[in-house]
Structures are given as structure tokens and as C-alpha cells.
Amino acid sequence: MKEMGLRLSASQLYHPKRPSLKDAVVSFGGFCTGVVVSEEGLVLTNHHCGLSSVQQHTSVEHNYLEEGFVATTRAEELPNPELYVRLLVQTREVTGRVLGAVRPWMSEQERSVAVDSVSRLIAQEASREDSTLVGIVDAFYGGNEFWLSVYRDYNDVRLVFAPPSSVGKFGWDTDNWMWPRHTGDFCLFRIYAGKENRPADYSPENVPYRPRYVVPLSTDGYRQGDFCMTLGYPGSTERFLSSFGMEEMRHHTLQARIDVRSVKLQILKEAMEKSERVRIQYASKYSESSNYWKNSIGMSRAIDKQQLIGKKQRLEAELRQWIRTAAERDSLLHLFTDLELAYKQRRAVHRALSYFMETFFYAAELPQLALQQLNFDSDADPASVQTNLQRIRRQYADFDVEVDKRLFTALLGEYRSQVGTDYLPDFYRTIDTLYAGDVRRYTDSLYARTRLSTPYGLDRIAARDSSFQIIDDAAVNVCLDLLALFFDLNGRIYAQNEAVERGERLFNAAVRRMYYQRNFYPDANMTMRLSLGSVQGYTPFDGAVYRYFTTAKGIVEKAKAHAGDADFQLQPHWMKLFTSHPNQPVCFLTNNDITGGNSGSPIFDGRGRLLGLAFDGNWEAMGSDLLYNAGLQRCIGVDVRYILFIMKHYGGTSDLLGELMPN
């Protein structure tokens, strides 16, 4: 890294006791990354990471999605009850202690119980002396190593600035995962703390958090080949996965997501185009669902086009030969036959489960609302009860009965067309017998009969109304049928799932043993990771060369070329502004290794200054979660100079700009 251009020491990047760069990087809500950029606790992250918070405060009267939002005073900053940021305090390896509880004769389930028990004990010890600390033990290398991460969570996080969606989501679905890019994908929040800078639930008495480390912003720009690095919380990769697992992912998990969400997104898009209220309610849900839908399309395409399964099979052929060449490896002789057999035996049920999960737990919301209220614990402590009540009420605020009914109707048909009769919940018998197979008549009746399509049932639960028997509700009956099938399907392949888990763990360890001279880094698992790289353009195909940055000129060109397309719609004053500043830098490319969860990750230069925020990857390298391709994979970032430019020209944010650039 020093040779590439890093000017910081290792202890300036990470130190468990002294302030270091890692102290400014936060896990944002557990699903994105953010970076602390002021002495008063300002956090920069992506617009799409903050979209649900912006949407939560949006109404037809105050459309912050369309118009943007800026708090000109601290009093105007908006609280977000379910949002938190997590700061890493320290991390250390605990493999010896965790695996010390494992015995050779244990089954996979017994091993899992032993590992979980010791991991929970280690995690609890982390918070014994300080109740504000959270300990989490994570598995690395498929469960062959374990590390403890100690965090401190801050629960009072307030929205400070969001550009209008025409800037923050410019290009929307069309440009998603594409380059060249011209998206101002950023939001600004502020962390608040209680007494002595300690974490505290929201209170008007809280004050801005005083960070241990603040990242300075760089307006110097960058050139091709300049060193850069990211720090963030990537979600998951599967680069050690066997070819059998990769094939299952391609044809089950990814295909189910593509098929089901294609139906879902079409229905949501039509409803959102017809109603501003619905568009506000479903903006964040649509964006999240669409993002992973397009990601799955790209991953499937990359697996096929780049022949990733074949590449993994060639590695496995080398591993088979390596296993045969030494007697001490005899315990691995049946590794591949056992793993292949386990995947084969669970194939049909696993495919059905993939469609089941996408259809019933990631699409229509009525079954999800019914499940939450069925499991509602009224006897929990009062604070937890109120928190859960408020969370479910907020879900109802973004729930449209007619939209959900259309969605459920369409997906009931889609699910039946994709799976066999062995995998249908019991309520399909009702559809076929009482409603002669007419799904629309069934869903009309279901949504008319249930008391859970509105907050009525929740209100009865909150009032402890004994006359309300939730177990008799029509939506709960649907939910119970779904749970029965879910547990049945998982039970059918329980043994195969254990065999797969064990086989993949052994396969992971064997690969690392065979190539012991190589440096392997573990798959992403939502723990902090650093990626080093440089600013780089790329050649996506023969005859095409993509340069490493874009400018406002491209925004104007796209807006004109896509006139009438909502994905590229710009208000006149933005069009005028970008036309008058054609050379304003907007986005840039690096070859840093990122994945989901890295959204909002800071991109640093060699001096630890902020160049921008990572927000996307490129279409040509969508298989990167399975195989990193240095020649193709690119990280797309929004330039910090564009962030400052937008803030300067929107909402009179001189105080915020002064806070971000104090010198």
C-alpha cells in the first residue's frame, strides 16, 4: 500500500485504543456504510441508503423525495426512530476458544450448538464492563475461523440533508449498475449522543456526537492510477463456494428473485405512476427490490458469460488430484461425492423454497404483517412493546391495500406456475374448491375478511382486547399455512442442508491448505473491510474505452436524450445549473473490491482524505460476488466535489458547508 501511494501508518488506519481512520467509518443501519465528516457528528452516506428515512418523513404536502430536504437549523433535523449507526471499537481473533468446544465426533448440528454457545458467551463478555458495547462473534472462511468485533451503537440519528431524487437517483433503474454514471447518490445525517457523549435513545436534550476521528474532505481531485482505498461493511460474497453451490444459486436463488420480482416491480411501477401517494409509500421498497432484481439478472448473466461454474470445476479438479496424492488427506476422499449428492438430493425442494421465500416473505406484505402480529409479545417490557407497536404502525403508513392485493393475486399465480403441487400451501385447496381456481375472487374475499389489512388488529393488541382473537383472522390462517409449509420443506432437506454446510466448510479449508502459499481474504460477512486499489477506467468490450470520471455535461446530454423518461427527469433550474457548469466532476471509477453493504463506503486518498462515496458496481462484473476480476470489476463513486457543489446550490446550506470544510 505504501508503494501504491499510502501515506498513513498501519496504526493510523486501525488502532484498538487510539483514534484511527476506522473510528470514522460506521455501519449505517446495518445495511450500508457511512463516514463521519465533522466535529459535530455529521455522517455522509448514499442517498439510496437514506431513502427510507427521507420517505418516512415525506407526505404529499412535504414531498422530500421529489423536492429534497435541508435542515437549516439543528431544530429542523429529523429523527429516525429505527435508524442507528454502529462504530467499531476493536476486533480480535477467537478461533481457538470457539473451536476448543468442538469435538471430532460431533454432528454438524452439535458442532453448530457448541460454536453458538461459546460465541454468545464471548460476545456477552464484551459488554459486561460497559453496557454501551455490543459484542458479535462472526464466522470466517466458512466457519473455520472466528473473530470478535466489539461495537458501540448510537440510536439517535437525524436527517440533515437529502438532494431531490432527480439528483440523488438520476438514472434510476436504467442506469443502475451501469457506467458512465451521473448520480448524486449522497445523504447527510447527524449522530446525537446523551451525557458524556454516550449512546442514548432519541431525546430533545441530546447533543451532537463528538467523534474520535473526523475525515477531512479533499477537493484536489484525482488522476488515472492514483491510489485509493475503501473502508466499509460489505454484506456477503460467495467466492469459496463450490461449483455445486454456484449452480444452485444460479438456477434457484437468482432465478426465483428474477421471476418473482419481475412481476412485483411491474405492478408497483404501474401503481406508483398512477398515484403520488402510492409513489411516496413504495419508493424505498421499490428501489431496494429493484436493485437486487437487476443485480440477480447481472449475476446470472456473468455466471454464464464468464463461465464461472466451469472455472470453479477446474479448481476442484486440481483439488481432487491434491487429495489423492497424500494419505493424510484420506478423510477428504469422499468430499466431492458427498457434497454433490447432498446438493442433488435437495434440488427440487430448495428450488421450491427459493420461490416460496421470494413470493410470500419478500413481496406481498399482508402475510408479513400477520406474522408480526401473531408473534407480538404483549408481555415484554413496556419500552419494547411500544417500540414494536410503533414499528408496525409505520409499516401500515406505507401500506396500500389495493396495491398489496393486486400483488398477492399475481404472485399466487406466478408461484403455482413455478412449483409442483407438492409445494403449495394448504390455502390453494380453498382457492381450487371454494373459488373454482379463481385467485382474484379468493384474494378479494381474503382482504375483505381480514382485520389486519388496517391497524385495527394492532390497536386491539395494544389495548389488550380479549374479545379480539387474532388466531381466527383470515390473514393469520394464510400465515399459518405458510409457516406449516415452510417448516415442512426445511424438514424434508434437513439432513442434506447439514451435509452441504459441512461439505462447504471442508471444501473451503481444503482450498486454503492446497494453496497455502497464497494470501486468501475471507468472504464478506458485514464486518469492516479495507480494500486497496487505484482510480481506473476500463475496457468493457473490444473497441470501447471508458474513462475514469464523468462531468455535469453528461447529465445534460442524458436528460435531453431521454426526454420524457422519468428516470432522467430534471427540474429546469437543475438543467440550467448543469448546463452552465459542464466541467463539474460528478462520478468516478476505481478498482476497489466492493459489494452490497459497501454502499456509502468512503473512498480515501493516500492521506486518508475523502474523495467520494462508493455507491455501485459495474454491469460487466456482476459475477464479482463469486469471483473477483481485477480487469473488469469497478467501484462507482460519487465525487465529494459534486456533493459540495449540490449542497452549495440547494437550500442555502452555507452553515453545513462551513461545518464540512472548516478551513
The residues carrying an active-site annotation are: 48, 185, 599
The tally of CA atoms less than 13 A away on the side-chain side of residue 51 is: 29
For residues 58 and 120, the answer to whether their CB atoms sit within 8 Å is no
Q: Which residues pair with 188 in a beta bridge?
A: 44, 161
Q: Which residue has the cell 471442508?
A: 506
Decide the pairing of beta strands 156-162 and 69-70: antiparallel
Contact assessment for residue 633 and residue 619, using Cβ atoms and an 8 Å cutoff:
no
Q: Which residue has the cell 464466522?
A: 139
Q: CA 594 to CA 232: how far, in whole Å?
A: 9
> How far from chain centre, in Å, is Cα 297?
17
155 contacts 201 by C-beta, under 8 angstroms: yes
HEC assignment per residue over 481-534: HHHHHHHHHHHHCHHHHHHHHHHHHHHHHHHHHHCCCCCCCCCCCCCCEEEEEE
The residue behind cell 454484506 is: 235
DSSP structural state of residue 225: T
- H-helix segments, 127-253: 165-168, 172-175, 243-248
- 139 three-state secondary structure: strand
Q: With helix as H, strand as E and coil as C, how does 82-118 read?
A: CCCEEEEEEEEECHHHHHCCCCCCCCHHHHHHHHHHH
Q: DSSP 3-state assignment of 146?
A: strand
Q: Is the peptide bond before 163 cis (omega within 30 degrees of 0)?
A: no
Phi and psi torsions of 151, nearest 5°: -125, 165
Reading the block at residue 354, the C-alpha cell is 427459493
